């Protein structure tokens, strides 16, 4: 139910121009205007924003409000309002705005999780890049007026704002692909002297070349970046070794994700052995690294070669579909990473191929810290899960358990529900459609196995009843992978 203050704010925003209002009402007016999708009122509020910082996500509230097309128009209006205000400051220095930091981080959780019509990181990236390029056209005029521009990104937004007489820092997450590469390159190359400066917190690049990735990395502010994700870039081991040196300039870099980058170290030649040693040394030179994702790399037997030079233990390690061998899991369980791991993704490995016992030993070593465990598509049957269950129940901090696409029976799943009720922090379990909830159907003399919707609904109802009877209505058990996002390691 909306508060009385919010209801009053809804009445105020129907007026335009807005009346003179005390500063403390601006946040609730912004929220009301966004929910009402009144883009022009948002522009007015930004133009008169009385604070040095505008944190978009904190003002807007639930991310569900970002999942329709109209919200993109509002976001675009806010960005354009900043551009207009900067031009106004140039023309009328006496009308300088208080706004010095626009924080656009943490809007959509992830690109893949948003509806097609909703707000995406791709949209925000392009909108901000276009705004930077537009403002940069007026940069000579700013410089002629003697504006002084800061050369670094402060970790404290308010102190940064206080030291800047003109211009706006935009803290944001950037996602670039083949379509948006050129406009983002041009925006970043306007540099720290631009009136509108991009300060990237998380950087994702998909389907662009290694040299293009390097060009963008060299243009990012070195003090702000904390996460880099490179996916579908066909880098290979050689490309990885060429990019890593350019990451050494980011002291706050905590997370590296190299998904679907065609890294293959299964059959090492003398040349590739030297390259993997170079990669390991460069990873070891990243002082703040806590999260590493090598998803879909081919590492069979060589995980230790990648991780051997790290100076501090990883807290998040994603190795889905990496063709790991028992020796890799044994190495990991005996390494200093095991006791520190909060997130572990081993999806896509056939647990029946000698991995069961090394996995059990690894889970024992991680049990005191582990919060997120993904064993999706691991060819796991009832006997495998029963063997792992005592160790799983020792993971007292576990919040997420992924078991999708495994061959488990209804009885085993219900038993798992009952026994995991003792895990106090468990929040989300993705379980597979039970093996006994399929039926054989015949179409035009062709038989196929399909879900029995009635049986599946009955199982789901039983699980819901078990949770309700136990008082664990906070715990989500679902066989659907749609509509649920992975817990962000950085929020664990």
Binned at pLDDT 50, 70 and 90, residue 481 comes out as confident
CA distances from 370 to 319, 324, 393, 416 (A): 15, 20, 11, 18
Which residue in 7, 1, 9, 40 sits closest to 26, CA to CA?
Answer: 9
Q: Peptide bond before 263: cis, by omega within 30 degrees of 0?
A: no
| Count of C-beta atoms within a 10 Å radius of residue 330 | 17
Residue 213 clears pLDDT 60, i.e. is over it = yes
Least confident piece of the model among 126-140, 216-230, 349-363: 126-140
**Pick the residue with more confidence: 296 or 446?**
296
Predicted confidence at residue 201, as pLDDT, reads 95
- Give the percent of the chain with pLDDT over 90: 72
Phi and psi angles of residue 429, each rounded to the nearest 5 degrees, phi first: -125, 125
Residue 191 clears pLDDT 50, i.e. is over it = yes
- Which of 99-113, 163-177, 179-193, 243-257: highest mean pLDDT? 243-257
Residue 303 clears pLDDT 90, i.e. is over it = yes
Find tokens 């070195």 and name the residue.
Answer: 222
Average pLDDT over residues 425-442: 92
Q: What b-and-e string marks burial along 273-291, b requiring 16 or more CB atoms within 10 Å of the CB?
A: eebbebbbebbeebeebbb
The contacts of residue 53 (CB under 8 Å, 6+ apart) are: 99, 100, 101, 103, 157, 158, 161
SS3 content of the chain, % helix, strand, coil (to 5): 45, 15, 40
303 CB-contact burial (10 Å; exposed 0-12 / middle 13-18 / buried 19+) = buried
**DSSP sequence for 310-346:** -SS--SEEE-TT----HHHHHHHHHSTTGGG-SEEE-
In contact, 82 and 50? CB cutoff 8 Å: no
Please list the alpha-helical segments (H only) found in 324-409. Answer: 326-334, 356-366, 382-392
Predicted confidence at residue 62, as pLDDT, reads 72
Predicted confidence at residue 117, as pLDDT, reads 52
Give tens-digit pLDDT for 57-101: 899 877 666 767 678 889 999 999 999 999 888 777 777 789 999
In contact, 328 and 349? CB cutoff 8 Å: no
Predicted confidence at residue 116, as pLDDT, reads 45
Distance CA 249, CA 36 (A): 43
Distance CA 176, CA 190 (A): 17
Give tens-digit pLDDT for 4-55: 888 889 999 998 888 899 999 999 999 999 999 999 999 999 999 999 999 9
Predicted confidence at residue 121, as pLDDT, reads 87
In contact, 294 and 318? CB cutoff 8 Å: yes
Binned at pLDDT 50, 70 and 90, residue 337 comes out as very high
CA distances from 1 to 5, 6, 7, 393 (A): 12, 10, 10, 39
Domain range 313-482, its CATH number among 3.30.300.10, 3.30.70.120, 3.80.10.10, 3.40.50.720: 3.80.10.10
Tokens of 48: 């008169």
Predicted confidence at residue 440, as pLDDT, reads 80
Predicted confidence at residue 193, as pLDDT, reads 80
Give tens-digit pLDDT for 121-137: 889 999 999 999 999 88
Q: Do the bridges between strand 168-176 and strand 196-206 make them parallel or antiparallel, or are there none, so unpaired? A: parallel
Phi and psi angles of residue 447, each rounded to the nearest 5 degrees, phi first: -95, 150
Max CA pair span of the chain: 81
Instruction: Using alpha carbons only, give the angle 8, 12, 14 rounded to the nearest 5 degrees.
Output: 125
Distance CA 47, CA 26 (A): 11
Predicted confidence at residue 281, as pLDDT, reads 97
Binned at pLDDT 50, 70 and 90, residue 491 comes out as low
Distance CA 415, CA 404 (A): 16
Distance CA 30, CA 42 (A): 6
Give tens-digit pLDDT for 339-349: 999 999 999 99
In contact, 379 and 350? CB cutoff 8 Å: yes
**Pick the residue with more confidence: 189 or 147?**
189
Predicted confidence at residue 490, as pLDDT, reads 60
Binned at pLDDT 50, 70 and 90, residue 150 comes out as very low
Average pLDDT over residues 361-365: 98
Distance CA 9, CA 228 (A): 40
> End-to-end distance of the chain based on CA atoms, in angstroms?
29
Predicted confidence at residue 152, as pLDDT, reads 41
Residue 441 clears pLDDT 70, i.e. is over it = yes
Distance CA 409, CA 43 (A): 56
Radius of gyration of the chain (CA): 26
Predicted confidence at residue 483, as pLDDT, reads 64
Strand partners, 312: none
Q: What is the pTM of this model?
A: 0.89
Break the chain into its structural domains and give their ranges: 1-111+122-136+166-204, 313-482
Distance of CA 281 to the CA centre of its chain: 26
Phi and psi angles of residue 17, each rounded to the nearest 5 degrees, phi first: -75, 155
**Pick the residue with more confidence: 155 or 483?**
483
Residue 402 clears pLDDT 70, i.e. is over it = yes
Residue 143 clears pLDDT 60, i.e. is over it = no
CA distances from 39 to 31, 72, 126, 468 (A): 12, 10, 19, 43
Binned at pLDDT 50, 70 and 90, residue 118 comes out as low
- Give the percent of the chain with pLDDT over 70: 88
Predicted confidence at residue 110, as pLDDT, reads 41
Give tens-digit pLDDT for 370-379: 999 999 999 9
The contacts of residue 109 (CB under 8 Å, 6+ apart) are: 63, 485, 488
Predicted confidence at residue 176, as pLDDT, reads 96
**Pick the residue with more confidence: 481 or 149?**
481
Average pLDDT over residues 258-262: 91
């Amino acid at each position: 139910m909306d508060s009385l203050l919010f209801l009053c704010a809804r009445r105020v925003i129907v007026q335009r121009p807005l009346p003179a209002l005390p500063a403390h009402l601006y946040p609730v007016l912004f929220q009301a205007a966004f929910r009402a999708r009144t883009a022009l009122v948002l522009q007015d509020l930004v133009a008169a924003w009385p604070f040095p910082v505008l944190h978009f996500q904190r003002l807007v509230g639930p991310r569900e409000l970002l999942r329709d097309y109209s919200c993109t128009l509002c976001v675009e209006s806010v960005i354009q309002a900043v551009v207009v205000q900067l031009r106004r400051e140039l023309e009328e220095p006496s009308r300088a705005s208080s706004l010095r930091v626009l924080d656009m981080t943490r809007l959509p959780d992830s690109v893949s999780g948003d509806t097609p019509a909703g707000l995406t990181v791709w949209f925000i990236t392009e909108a901000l890049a276009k705004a930077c390029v537009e403002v940069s056209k007026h940069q000579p005029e700013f410089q002629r007026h003697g504006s002084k521009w800061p050369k670094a990104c402060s970790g404290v937004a308010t102190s940064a704002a206080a030291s800047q007489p003109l211009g706006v820092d935009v803290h944001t997450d950037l996602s670039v692909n083949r379509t948006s590469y050129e406009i983002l390159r041009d925006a970043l190359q306007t540099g720290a002297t631009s009136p509108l400066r991009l300060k990237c917190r998380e950087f994702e690049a998909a389907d662009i070349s290694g040299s293009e990735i390097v060009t963008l990395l060299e243009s990012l502010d070195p003090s702000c970046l904390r996460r880099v994700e490179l996916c579908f870039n066909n880098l290979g081991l050689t490309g990885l070794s060429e990019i890593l040196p350019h990451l050494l300039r980011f002291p706050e870099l905590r997370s590296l994700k190299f998904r679907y980058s065609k890294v293959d170290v299964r059959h090492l030649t003398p040349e590739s052995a030297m390259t993997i040693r170079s990669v390991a040394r460069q990873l070891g030179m990243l002082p703040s690294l806590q999260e590493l994702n090598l998803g879909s790399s081919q590492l069979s037997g060589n995980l230790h070669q990648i991780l051997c030079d790290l100076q501090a233990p990883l807290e998040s390690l994603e190795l889905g579909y990496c063709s790991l061998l028992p020796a890799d899991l044994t190495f990991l369980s005996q390494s200093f990473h095991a006791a520190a791991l909060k997130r572990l993704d081993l999806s896509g490995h056939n647990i029946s191929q000698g991995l069961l016992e090394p996995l059990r030993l690894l889970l024992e070593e991680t049990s005191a810290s582990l919060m997120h465990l993904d064993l999706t598509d691991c060819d796991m049957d009832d006997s495998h899960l029963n063997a792992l269950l005592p160790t799983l129940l020792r993971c007292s901090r576990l919040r997420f358990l992924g078991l999708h696409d495994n061959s488990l029976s209804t009885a085993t799943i219900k038993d798992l529900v009952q026994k995991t009720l003792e895990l106090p922090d468990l929040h989300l379990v993705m379980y597979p459609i039970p093996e006994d909830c399929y039926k054989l159907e015949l179409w035009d003399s062709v038989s196929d196995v399909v879900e029995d919707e009635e049986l599946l609904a009955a199982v789901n109802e039983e699980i819901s009843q078990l949770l309700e009877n136990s008082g664990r209505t906070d715990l989500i058990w679902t066989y659907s992978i749609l509509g649920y996002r992975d817990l962000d390691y950085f929020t664990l």
